[in-house]
Amino acid sequence: MLSARENSSGRSWLDGALARFEADNDASVARTNSLLERIVPDPALHARLINTLSMLEHMGSHKIMATQHSAGIDRPTLKHVAEEAQHAWFMKHQAEKCAGREMTYLPEDLLAPASARMYFQRLEALIVRSLGSRRNAEAPYLYMSMIVEFRALWFYRLYEKCLKRAGHAMSLKRLIGEERHHLTDMANRLALTGDLSHARAHRFLDEERQLYLGLLRALQHATA
């Protein structure tokens, strides 16, 4: 459990980082909304988008299981992997409801699958490369999870608003709450281990923004 001082350290930085993230991504809001507003009313496209999100959540849970398997794995990490797997199941369930059939993670059931996988793999590679070998063994997992949660929280909030405008029955409220908890937890754990570098985190967020823009372009092309 984090001490009050450690918890405050991670949280106070996170509040400012979230505000900066919103400002840095302001130019992408209209493009993302335009994409969502084109996809959500089309059941076939919408099912493929939801299934792509399911695939990304599944990749996240798989990465945690693949890298955090030591005998000393703690309860927060187990909870994290369980919730990421639950998110993948939830999205898969919603995708199949929307499509009216079973769906796979094969290209025909996804949107811009190569770019979606590339977004995840490139982000992980640059974080691992930047941290190098002289770091806490958990640092790549914590940084990767934290940076991805910034984007997940931002995207799912826009998506939830679009669903409401369209009168769609799917709700992301619980998922958004869990993603916010994951983000706070990752920042606090990095602060606890002394691995939270504000400059490094902002550099990773800048790199992630470029990767997201590439994914956004691919999604726009796939739905044009």
Question: What is the reported pLDDT for 10?
Answer: 57
CA–centroid distance for 36 within its chain: 17
The residue-averaged pLDDT of 185-190 equals 94
Is residue 151 a contact partner of residue 192, using CB atoms and an 8 Å limit?
no
The residue-averaged pLDDT of 204-217 equals 98
Task: State which amino acid sits at residue 137.
Answer: A
What's the maximum distance between 2 C-alpha atoms anywhere in the chain? Answer: 50
Question: What is the reported pLDDT for 129?
Answer: 93
Is residue 15 a contact partner of residue 185, using CB atoms and an 8 Å limit?
no
Q: Find tokens 């009050």 and name the residue.
A: 4
Host domain of residue 119: 4-222
CA–centroid distance for 88 within its chain: 11
The residue-averaged pLDDT of 186-200 equals 93
Per-residue tokens: 218: 């691919």
Question: What is the reported pLDDT for 63?
Answer: 84
Question: What is the reported pLDDT for 135?
Answer: 67
Mind listing the pLDDT tens digit for each residue in 95-131? 999 999 999 999 999 999 999 999 999 999 999 999 9
Domain count for the chain, please give it.
1
Banded pLDDT at 6 (limits 50, 70, 90): very low
For residue 178, what are the contacts with CB-CB under 8 A and spacing of at least 6?
83, 87
Banded pLDDT at 220 (limits 50, 70, 90): very high
Surface-to-core class of residue 79, CB atoms within 10 Å of its CB (0-12 exposed, 13-18 middle, 19+ buried)? middle
Mind listing the pLDDT tens digit for each residue in 34-68? 999 999 999 999 999 999 999 999 999 988 877 77
pTM for the full model?
0.92
For residue 111, what are the contacts with CB-CB under 8 A and spacing of at least 6?
39, 45, 48, 49, 52, 219, 222, 223
Banded pLDDT at 5 (limits 50, 70, 90): very low
In terms of residues, how long is the chain? Answer: 224
Q: Is the pLDDT of residue 90 over 60?
A: yes
Distances from the Cα of 108 to the Cα of 43, 52, 96, 104, 179, angstroms: 14, 11, 14, 8, 28
Share of the chain above pLDDT 70, in %: 94
